Amino acid sequence: MASISVPIGSVPGQSAPRPRLRVSDYLRWSVDHKIIGVQYMVTAAFFFIVGGTLAMLIRLELLTPNLDVVQTGSQYNTLFSVHGLVMIFLWIIPMMAGFGNYLVPLMLGAKDMAFPWLNAFAFWLIPPAGILMVGSMLVGAPEAGWTQYPPLSTLFSGDGQTLAALSVHLLGISSILGAINFLVTVKNMRPPGMSYWQMPLFVWAIVATSIIVVMATPFLAGALTLLILDRVGGTTFFDATKGGDVLLWQNVFWFYSHPAVYIMVLPGMGILSDVLSVHSRKPIFGYKMIALSSMAIGIVGFTVWAHHMFTSLQPELRIPFMITSMIIAVPTGIKIFSWLGTLWRGKIRFTSAMLFSLGFLSMFVIGGITGVMLAMIPFNLHVHDTYFVVAHLHFVLFGGSVFAIYSGVYHWFPKITGRMLDERLGRLHFALTYIGFFFTFFPMHFAGMLGMPRRVAVYMPEYQGLNATASFGSFLLGISTFLLLYNVIASLRSGRLAGANPWRALTLEWATTSPPPATNFVGDPVLFEDPYGYGTEGASDYLDAIERRFGAPSQPVVVDKPASPAAQGASGD
């Protein structure tokens, strides 16, 4: 229980030599969770660019009301179907798994995940799944949207639909294996002195997420199996003319896919809880409520699925799902207010990581409000399957998850690579992303309410103004991505050295060198009793001790000097 809070400074002070990161280590099978974490992240980032390119083509097509960029409606349908599938299953979910893989063992002071081999196996399912997904576009239009509703997906869509379904199947397996690993790791590998209530909130979020993955993803696997059988096995599970039922798919698919929204957003909320506390130099406000609200969202999230079916479900079944969908707004609200409480009276540092977390807060709240509106059945009947929903889901998944991912990248890049990202470029990246995001997605609310359905390549000319605004916003968003990419590549070569703990954060991943040695910690990690205990003398002493023990970041003056190899030698203390 009582963990040592001060005396690490007395540990004789030579840090372990900074391990060199070699590209070749990341291209082969490895059971080191840090390498696997980076493999996840880099793979996901690659597919983010693939999905982003598809998004750019979609917005280019929608610049005008007519079909002009692509030749046929089916091609357009393929663009947004694969865009959705890639962004969800090959970008956000694996990216969050990447953060989880890299950070959870470090935050728990462990040497690795509970099942290192399984961890590697889960990752290596992703590249073949990615190839299948990209290949699906080439062999025949998978044009049924990411939701793959039959009978469009079973009786009409091209052969690509089968490949896409197989790809998602593989990704589901990967996701389940990863989640089991997280749960066992958190259960068994916490250090002595760390109770569940002393875990960083990111770890709590990963626990909640993993429970959802383990319970929900098998349903997706079941639904996909039926879909693939209908396509290639001659079965008729979803063919109403032969005794099947199209609503079967919708029920089972959403039983997974609504919880999947929380699979994508809860880890982001975990990132936010850590980043907001560290960069406003103040304990997280209402730790237990944040942790418990993650669990509440995870549980209630299983009871709301049919709010995606308010226009297809039997009318008398719609009311209970409205009630549960309304209830889930409460724990989400608790989180937002707790984060605001964290900022209040803090000492806010406008680092890039912090800016993206603040951006998350201000954009996600819009997604939350429109979410409550969508739960209201009468209003839902109007905006269901329109651009209003497209706006809502991007405010949650881009304004939420992707902003959180960006925030996490700026926050933990120094730990992963040992070098800082360029903060000035980071701020520019934030400004472009924030403005581009807002102008891309905010006008979509109006397009939807005024009468533009989603998933259309041609639309009535009266919506062109709104669509052109959205398209120009998205081009800005596209450009902003390259700023981050450039920043990452440039900083890897010549970024300022980070030291062990550039943000003076109290969680355990910072109590070792950057990047950490193969075994993560040299000797036993020394835990501070409260992961968010900022503002106390004890915390200050602990952080000073970490700095003496593992080395301080090089000073900002050095940043612009190209002579970083020289500076490299100056690490340590």
Partner 1 sequence: MNSSNVSSRTVITLIVVGVLLIAGGFIISQATPLIFPVEASAESTQIDQLFRVALLIGGAIFLLVQGVLIYSVWRFRARPGDTTDGPPIHGSTTLEIVWTAIPAVIVMVLTILSYQVWSSIQSVKEDEQLVQVTGARFNWAFTYSTPDPRDAAAELTFKSTELHIYLGRPVLLKMQTQDVIHSFWVPALRMKQDLLPGRTTEYRFTPVAVEGETYPARYPVKCAELCGAAHGEMIAWVVVHETEADYAAWFDQEVDKVLNPPADPVLRGESILASQVYPCHTCHVLSTDTLQWDGKVGPALNGVADRAATSRANATGLAAADYLYQSIHEPGAYLVPGYSNLMPQLGIPECEAWSIVAYLCTLSDSGAPTCTVELPAQCQAAGAPPVEATAEATEAPAEAAAEATPASS
Which residues within the stretch 174-193 sit at the binding site for partner 1 (CB under 8 A)? none
Q: Which of residues 27-66 bind partner 1 (CB under 8 A)?
A: none
Smallest separation, CB 426 to partner 1 (Å): 16
> Of 322 and 432, which CB lies nearer to partner 1 in the complex structure?
322
549 binds partner 1 (CB under 8 A): no
311 binds partner 1 (CB under 8 A): yes
Q: Which of residues 85-144 bind partner 1 (CB under 8 A)?
A: 143-144
337 binds partner 1 (CB under 8 A): yes
Q: Which of residues 363-392 bind partner 1 (CB under 8 A)?
A: 365-366, 369-370, 372-373, 376-379, 381-382, 384-386
The interface mask with partner 1, positions 264-293, x = CB under 8 A, is ----------------xxxxxxxxxx----
CA separation for the pair 45, 481 (Å, rounded) = 10
Residue in 228, 248, 272, 213 with CA at minimum distance from that of residue 89: 213
The interface mask with partner 1, positions 425-464, x = CB under 8 A, is --------------------xx--xxx-xxxxxxxx----
Phi and psi of 68, rounded to 5°? -135, -35
Decide if 254 contacts 223 (C-beta within 8 A). no
> Of 122 and 390, which CB lies nearer to partner 1 in the complex structure?
390
Query: Tokens standing for 98?
Result: 């990447």
> Of 101 and 342, which CB lies nearer to partner 1 in the complex structure?
342
CB-based burial label for 461 (10 Å; 0-12, 13-18, 19+): exposed
> Of 125 and 343, which CB lies nearer to partner 1 in the complex structure?
343
70 binds partner 1 (CB under 8 A): no
555 binds partner 1 (CB under 8 A): no
- Cα angle 564, 566, 568 (rounded to 5 degrees) comes to 70
CA separation for the pair 255, 216 (Å, rounded) = 7
Q: How many CB atoms lie within 10 A of CB 394?
A: 21
Q: Is the peptide bond before 19 cis (omega within 30 degrees of 0)?
A: no
> Of 33 and 504, which CB lies nearer to partner 1 in the complex structure?
504
Smallest separation, CB 386 to partner 1 (Å): 7
Decide if 426 contacts 117 (C-beta within 8 A). no
Q: How many CB atoms lie within 10 A of CB 27?
A: 10
152 binds partner 1 (CB under 8 A): yes
145 binds partner 1 (CB under 8 A): yes
294 binds partner 1 (CB under 8 A): no
Decide if 181 contacts 113 (C-beta within 8 A). yes
Stretch of residues binding partner 1 (CB under 8 A), selected from 50-58, 266-274, 319-327, 550-558:
319-327
Residue in 405, 320, 424, 321 with CA at minimum distance from that of residue 357: 405
Q: How many CB atoms lie within 10 A of CB 319?
A: 9
* From 29, 117, 197, 350, residue interacting with partner 1 (rule: CB under 8 A): 350
Q: Which of residues 212-241 bind partner 1 (CB under 8 A)?
A: 239-241
Q: How many CB atoms lie within 10 A of CB 547?
A: 18
Phi and psi of 70, rounded to 5°? -100, 165
247 binds partner 1 (CB under 8 A): yes
* From 13, 17, 465, 535, residue interacting with partner 1 (rule: CB under 8 A): 535
* From 215, 246, 425, 485, residue interacting with partner 1 (rule: CB under 8 A): 246
> Of 460 and 566, which CB lies nearer to partner 1 in the complex structure?
460
Smallest separation, CB 348 to partner 1 (Å): 5
Stretch of residues binding partner 1 (CB under 8 A), selected from 97-105, 310-318, 424-432, 514-522:
310-318
* From 43, 77, 167, 481, residue interacting with partner 1 (rule: CB under 8 A): 77
DSSP classification of residue 386: B
540 binds partner 1 (CB under 8 A): yes
> Of 29 and 344, which CB lies nearer to partner 1 in the complex structure?
344
With CB under 8 A as the rule, give the number of residues binding partner 1. Answer: 93
* From 16, 327, 428, 567, residue interacting with partner 1 (rule: CB under 8 A): 327
* From 361, 393, 421, 477, residue interacting with partner 1 (rule: CB under 8 A): 361
CA separation for the pair 557, 568 (Å, rounded) = 14
Residue pointed to by tokens 């070792």: 512
Decide if 534 contacts 506 (C-beta within 8 A). yes
330 binds partner 1 (CB under 8 A): yes
- Please give the span between the terminal C-alpha atoms of the chain, in angstroms, as a whole number: 31
DSSP 444-508: HHHHHHHT-BSS-SS--GGGHHHHHHHHHHHHHHHHHHHHHHHHHHHHHHHPPB--S-TT---SG
CA separation for the pair 145, 130 (Å, rounded) = 17
315 binds partner 1 (CB under 8 A): yes
DSSP classification of residue 570: T
> Of 33 and 83, which CB lies nearer to partner 1 in the complex structure?
83
Query: Tokens standing for 500?
Result: 């062990």
Smallest separation, CB 370 to partner 1 (Å): 8
329 binds partner 1 (CB under 8 A): yes
